[in-house]
Chains A and B, each alone.
Chain A
Amino acid sequence: MSILGTRVVRTEDPLFLTRGATYTDDLVDDRLTGALHATFIRSQVAHGRVLSVDASAAREAPGVVAVYTAEDCPDLAPLPAGLPMVPPAMQRPWLATDKVRFVGDIVAVVLTEDRYQGEDAAELVSVDIDPLPTVVSTADAAKDEVLLFEEAGTNVAAVFGGPPPEDFFSGCEVVVRQAVKNQRVAPVPLETRAAAAAWGEDGRVTIWCTNQGAQQAKGEIAGWLGLDPALVHLVTPDVGGGFGAKIGADPEYAFVAWLAQRVGRPVRWTENRSENLLGMLHGRGQDQLVTIGGRRDGTVEAYAIHVDQEAGAYPRVGVILPTLTMLMAAATYAFPKVHASARVLVNNATSIGAYRGAGRPEATAAVERAVDMFAAEIGMDPAEVRRKNLVPPFHEPHTTPSGATYDSGEYVVALEKALEAAGYQELRAEQARRREAGEVKQLGIGLSTYVEITGADTGLGAAESAELEVHPDGTATVLTGTSPHGQGHATAWAMLASDQLGIPVEKITVLHGDTDRIPRGGGTMGSRSLQQGGAAVHQAATELIELARQRAAEQLEADPSDLEVDLTAAGLSVRGTPGSGITFAQLAEKEPLVVQTRFEAAAPTFPFGAHVAVVEVDTESGKAELQRLVAVDDAGIIVNPLLAEGQRHGGFAQGVAQALLEEVLYDADGNPQTSTLADYPFVSPTELPSFELVDMATPTPINPLGAKGIGEAGTIGSTPAVHNAVIDAVAHLGVRHIDMPTTPMKVWRAIQQAQQEGTN
C-alpha cells in the first residue's frame, strides 16, 4: 500500500519539540562570533521633511561601535522601485534623506556590542522632522493634493484597466452597488524579521535571514547592493512563519550585509514586535466598489469590481495584488459579463505585500458579499442564488470572462456538501425561531464558495528544482528549491521519495535554503510547493529509478526492461524473481547515485470549496461569536491529510480573524494605532471554535501528483463565510452591509443606524 494519502507524523517534530527549531536569532556559528547588533532608528512621523539627524550623543554611548545616517553612507544607491509599472521616482532610500514617508521609515542605524546597548543608544539619536500633511486613505491619496513623491507628480503607482462600458448593467432588473473595504491587516508570523551577515576572507558574504525562498532573497540582496551574486551565500535557517510577508528579502537584510562589510565585523539584527508591526509588509488594503446586476429570478447578468489598492509609502509586491483580484473576479460563477479594474495608490503607511492569499481573498470577499447583497435585494436564499449561478461541474479547462483558465471544478457539489454537513435547513429554522422570538442573541448563517489560483508562477519559467541522492548506507537526501516554514516539506517530500524507492521516510533527509548547495529554487508562496516542488521530487525519484535500472542491468547482466522496483528491498530485482536484485544503496557504493531535475507544470491549478459559518450576534452589544465553521476544501489529491488539514486550520483562523477582529489602524495623521500585540487584535484560541472539515478531492491533470495548492484556500473561503454570517444575523433588523472587521462597535452601530432609518 502506498504511503501517499496517509497520516504520517512529521519528521521535523522531535527536534522542534525537544531542543526547539533553530531560527535566525538562535544561530550559533563560528562565523558570527563577536557579531555586532544593529538597531534601526525609525521615523515616528508619518510624513515630513528631515531637518536634522544628530547622532553625536549616541556615538559616545557605551558599547556603540558605529552609527550611520544617510550622510554616512552616500555610496549606497537608492533601492530600485522594482516593478516596471511603478513610476521610477517612487524609490525607497536605505536611510531617509530629505523626507520620511511612514512611521517606521529608517532614519539611522546603530551598531553595538550587545542588543540592550543598542536600545539605549537609539534613544540618544536626535531626529528633527518638520511634519507635512499626511495621506492615509486611498481617497485622500487619489486627490493628489499631498504627494509622497513630488517628482512623480502623483500618488498613483499603477493603473490596471478602465471603467466598464456605460451600458454594462442596462437591462438588469436589479442592480446593487456597494463600497466594500478589504482592510489592511498584519501578517504577524510569530518569528519577527531577523538577519545575520559575515564576510569571509574569500570576499564572499554569508547572509542568514528568515525568508520564504533563499534564491529569490539572494538575488534581491545582490541586486540592491550591486554585488556579484556569486559572492553571496544565503542560508535560510528554520523560519517561524511567513504568510507571504517573508517573500524575497527586505532592505534591512541587505543593509545588515552592507554594515558588516563596512565595519569589518559580523552583524546581526532581530527586530522586536513593535518594529515588526511597523516595518514588515502588511497585507490586503483594498477599497473596492462592487456592482452586481441581474434578474429577480436569481440570475446574475453582470458583475463589476473596481479596486483602489493601498501600496503604502514605498510600492512593493502590493502593487500587483489587484491584478490577481481582477484575474479571479469571476470566481466560481458563470456570470456572462464580468468587469474588473484597479488603481494602486501610495500612502503614508507601511508598504503592502502578499499575505496568505494575496489578491485572491480580496476577489472572493468582494463577489461573495455581492452575491449575498443581490440575494437579499431580491429576497432569495443565498444558497439558491449560488446554485443558479455557479459554473456547472467541469473536468476540461474552463475560461472565465476575467481571463483565468480553471483546470477542474465541481463547485455545486462542494456547496451541497457544505450545506448538508452544516445542517443548513435546521440552521435556517433555528434562525427563524430566534427572529420570531426577538431574542437578544441572533443566529447568522454565512456561505461562501471559492476558487483560487495556486502555483500561479507556472508558465512563467519558474519551475522547481529537486536533487535526490541515495547513499551507500541506505539513507537518502533530497535537496529542494521550496522553502518550508511550517508546512512540513521534510515529511511530505520524504513520503514522495519513499513511495517510489521504498526507502523509509525516517531515512530520508530533506534540505533546503542554502544557495551554495541549491542554486535554483522558487521558494514557498502562492500555494505552489507541493504541485511544483513535490512534483519535482516525484520526478527525481522516477529519474533515479531509471538511472539505477541502467546500472543494475549492467551489474546483474539483465535486460533493463526486466528489472522492476522492489519496494521491500529498496532496490531493483528481476521481474518475477524477488530477492534476485540489488538495492539502491548497493548501487551507490560504486559511484554516486544521484539525479538533479526540474519540474515545471504547464499551468496553474485552481483549488475550490465552500464554507458555511454560523455566528451568534448579541444585538445589544454587537459582539459576534463564531460558533461553527464547516469547510469543504478541494485541493485535488492529498499526499498527507495530517499536513493538509493543518494548512486548512491555520488558513481558517487567519480568514476568521480578518472577518471578525484584525485590522491595522492609523489615525488621521498616519500614526499607527496597532503597533504592538497588546493593540493589534491577533486572533486567540478563545475566539475560535474547533473546525468541521469535509473532504473532497477532484484531481488535477496539471501535475503527476494530481495535487492543487492548499496553503491559502482556508483563508480565502472562511473570510467571506464569516463576514456574510455576521451580516445575516442582523439582516432582519434592516442591516445590509457592515465592513470588516465586524467588531462589536461596527455591528452595534449598523443596528442602530438601520433602526433609525427604519423609523424615519
Chain B
Amino acid sequence: MKVTLTVNGQQRSDEVEPRLLLAHYLRDTCGLKATNIGCDTTSCGACTVVVDGLTVKSCTVLAAQADGSQVTTLEGLAGPDGELHPMQKAFREEHGLQCGFCTPGMVMAAIGVVADNPDPSDREVREGLEGNLCRCTGYHNIVRAVQSAAKAGPAAGQVPQSQEVAR
C-alpha cells in the first residue's frame, strides 16, 4: 500500500507492506537510522518519535497508521546550520548519554515531558520518562539534562516542524 508522510519536514510517499512498523519504515525505507529498536514489547522507548505532536513508540505504530502524519525523529531536531536543539544541548552538557542507544528515543520523550510540564521536578521527570529505559546512565544525568533544558525555555518542549508536543 502507498503511504504519504511528512518526515522531518519533508513530504514523501512510499509503497509499504501493510504490516510494516513505523520504526522499520523510518530506519529502512527513509534511511533514518537514529531511531533505534531495543525491545519487542513497547517497553524500552528507544524508538520514540514525535507524530503529529505526540511522542509515540514507533515500534507500536504501523507505517500505514501514520499515513498523512507529520513525524519528527532525532535527525529533525537540530537547526539547518547544525545548531543543537535545547534538549540535545542539555544532554551533551549534562552527560546524559553514554552508549547512545536509548538517546534518540530518550531525547524525543524528554521533549514531550517538558512540553507537558515546563518546570518538572526530579520526580516528575522520572515519571515522565518511565517508559524509556537506559542501561548506562542510571538516569541521574538524564534527569539533570531534562531539568536543565526546561530551565532554558519553552523551546525545549518543541520540535521544529510542529510547535505543540504532548505525551
A residues contacting B by CB (< 8 A) are: 9-10, 12-14, 16-23, 26, 28, 116, 188-192, 238-241, 243, 272-274, 485-488, 642-643, 645-646, 649-654, 676-678, 682, 684-686, 688, 690-691, 714
Expressed in whole angstroms, the minimum distance between the Cβ of B88 and any Cβ of chain A is 4
B6-65, CB < 8 A from A? 17, 19-20, 27, 31, 33-44, 46
Residues in A whose Cβ lies below 8 Å from that of B31: 28
Q: With A21-B100, A485-B99, A486-B98 given, is the CB distance from A273 to B41 under 8 Å? A: yes
- Cβ of A654: which chain B residues have Cβ within 8 Å of it? 135, 138
B117 within 8 Å of A (CB atoms): no
- For residue B3, give the distance in angstroms from its CB to the closest CB of chain A: 16
Please state if B139 and A20 are interface contacts (CB–CB under 8 Å). Answer: no
Taken together as a complex, chains A and B put the C-alpha atoms of A272 and B41 apart, in Å, by 10
Structural contact, A20 and B138, CB atoms closer than 8 A: no
Determine if B84 and A14 form an interchain contact, defined as CB atoms under 8 angstroms apart: yes
- Judge if B150 is at the interface, Cβ distance under 8 Å: no
- Kindly identify, within residues 89 to 145 of chain B, every residue whose CB is under 8 Å from any CB belonging to chain A: 91-93, 95, 97-104, 107, 122, 125-127, 129-130, 132-144
CA distance A429 to B133 in the complex (A): 36
For residue A688, which residues in chain B have a CB less than 8 angstroms away from its CB?
Answer: 126, 138-140
List B contacts of A273 (CB < 8 A). Answer: 38-41, 44
A21, A23, A678 — most chain B CB neighbours (10 Å): A21
Question: B82 — which chain A residues lie within 8 A by C-beta?
Answer: 18
Q: Are A192 and B38 in contact (CB under 8 A)?
A: yes
Docked Cα-Cα span, A16 to B129, in Å, equals: 20
Binding site for A on B (CB under 8 A): 17, 19-20, 27, 31, 33-44, 46, 74-75, 77-78, 82, 84, 88, 91-93, 95, 97-104, 107, 122, 125-127, 129-130, 132-144
Looking at the complex, which one of B39, B77, B135 makes contact with A18 (CB distance below 8 Å)?
Answer: B77
Which residue of chain B has its CB nearest to the CB of A679? B41
Q: Does A13 contact B91, Cβ atoms closer than 8 Å?
A: yes
Task: Give Cα A239–Cα B136 distance, bound, in whole angstroms.
Answer: 12
The answer on a CB contact under 8 Å between B43 and A676 is yes
Q: Are B84 and A241 in contact (CB under 8 A)?
A: no
**A486 touches which one: B44, B100, B132 (CB < 8 A)?**
B100
Q: Which residues of B contact A192 (CB under 8 A)?
A: 38
A685 touches B99 (CB 8 A): no
- A20 and B33 in contact, given A190-B101, A686-B126 (Cβ under 8 angstroms): yes
Q: How far is the CB of A36 from chain B (nearest CB, A)?
A: 15
Known: A649-B138, A653-B138, A654-B135. A17 touches B17 (CB 8 A): no
Contact: A652 with B138, CB < 8 Å? yes
On whether the beta carbons of A650 and B40 are closer than 8 Å, the reply is no
Contacts of B36 in A (CB 8 A): 20, 23, 190-191, 240
> Which A residues touch B19, using CB under 8 A?
116
Say whether A16 contacts B33, CB under 8 Å: no
A192 to B38, CA, bound (A): 7
The reply to whether B140 and A690 contact each other, CB–CB distance below 8 Å, is: yes
Contacting residue for B126 out of A16, A649, A676, A685, CB 8 A: A685
- Asked if B43 and A678 make an inter-chain contact with CB atoms under 8 angstroms apart, the answer reads yes
Q: Which B residues are CB-close (under 8 A) to A20?
A: 33-36, 74-75, 100, 103-104
A685 contacts B135, CB within 8 Å?
Answer: no
Chain A residues contacting B126 (CB-CB under 8 Å) are 685-686, 688
Closest 6 CB pairs of A and B: A20-B34, A240-B101, A653-B138, A486-B98, A486-B99, A677-B43
Q: Who on chain B is nearest to A680 by CB? A: B43
CB <8 Å contact, A488 and B98: yes
- B20: chain A residues at CB < 8 Å are 116
Give the Cβ gap from B148 to chain A, nearest Cβ, in Å: 13
CB–CB B88/A17 < 8 A = yes
Shortest B126–chain A CB gap in Å is 4
Closest to A187 in B: B135
Contact of B98 with A487 in the complex, beta carbons under 8 Å: yes
Taking A17-B84, A190-B46, A487-B98 as known contacts, 6 extra A-B pairs with beta carbons closer than 8 A to each other, sorted by chain A number, are A17-B92, A17-B107, A485-B99, A685-B139, A685-B142, A688-B139
Q: Assuming the A-B contacts A684-B133, A685-B126, are A678 and B104 also in contact, with contact meaning beta carbons closer than 8 angstroms in the complex?
A: no
| Contact of B130 with A685 in the complex, beta carbons under 8 Å | yes
Whether A240 pairs with B99 at a CB distance below 8 angstroms is yes
B139: chain A residues at CB < 8 Å are: 649, 653, 685, 688
A691 with B17, Cβ < 8 A, contacts A642-B95, A682-B43, A684-B130 known = no
Name the residue in A10, A20, A191, A238 with the highest tally of chain B Cβ atoms < 10 Å from its Cβ. A20
CB atoms of B100 and A238 under 8 A apart? yes
Minimum Cβ distance to chain B for residue A281 (Å): 15
In the bound complex, how far is the Cα of B44 from the Cα of A189, in angstroms? 11
**Interfacial chain A residues near B136, Cβ < 8 Å:** 190, 241, 486, 646, 650
Please tell me if the beta carbons of B98 and A18 are within 8 angstroms of each other in the complex. no
- From B43, which residue of chain A is reached at the shortest CB distance? A677
Decide: A677 near B99, CB < 8 A? Known: A116-B17, A241-B135: no
Query: Chain A contacts of B95 at CB under 8 A?
Result: 9-10, 642-643, 645-646
Give every chain B residue within 8 A of A10 (Cβ-Cβ).
92, 95
Q: How far is the CA of A677 from the CA of B103 in the complex (A)?
A: 18
Contacts of A682 in B (CB 8 A): 43-44, 133, 135
What are 10 pairs between A and B in contact, CB < 8 Å?
Answer: A10-B92, A13-B97, A23-B36, A190-B99, A241-B99, A646-B141, A652-B140, A653-B138, A685-B126, A685-B130
Cβ contacts under 8 Å, A714 to chain B: 138
- Chain B residues, Cβ within 8 Å of A651: 138
Interface centre among A19, A239, A487 (most CB of B within 10 A): A19
Contact B41 A190 (CB under 8 A): no
Q: Are B130 and A240 in contact (CB under 8 A)?
A: no
Decide yes or no: A691 and B93 within 8 Å by CB, A20-B36, A486-B100 being known contacts. Answer: no
Residue of B nearest to A484 (CB): B99
* Chain A residues whose CB sits within 8 angstroms of the CB of B102 once the complex forms: 190
Tell me the complex Cα distance, A11–B136, Å.
18
Quick one: closest B residue to A272, CB to CB? B40
Of the candidates B41, B103, B130, the one whose C-beta lies within 8 Å of that of A678 is: B41
A442 → B minimal CB distance (Å) = 22
Q: Are B39 and A676 in contact, with the CB atoms below 8 A?
A: yes
Q: How far is the CA of A676 from the CA of B141 in the complex (A)?
A: 27
> How far apart sit A421 and B99, CA to CA, in the bound complex (Å)?
31
Q: What's the least CB distance linking B85 to chain A, in Å?
A: 8
Partner of B99, one of A191, A274, A690: A191
Report chain A residues within 8 Å CB of B46: 190
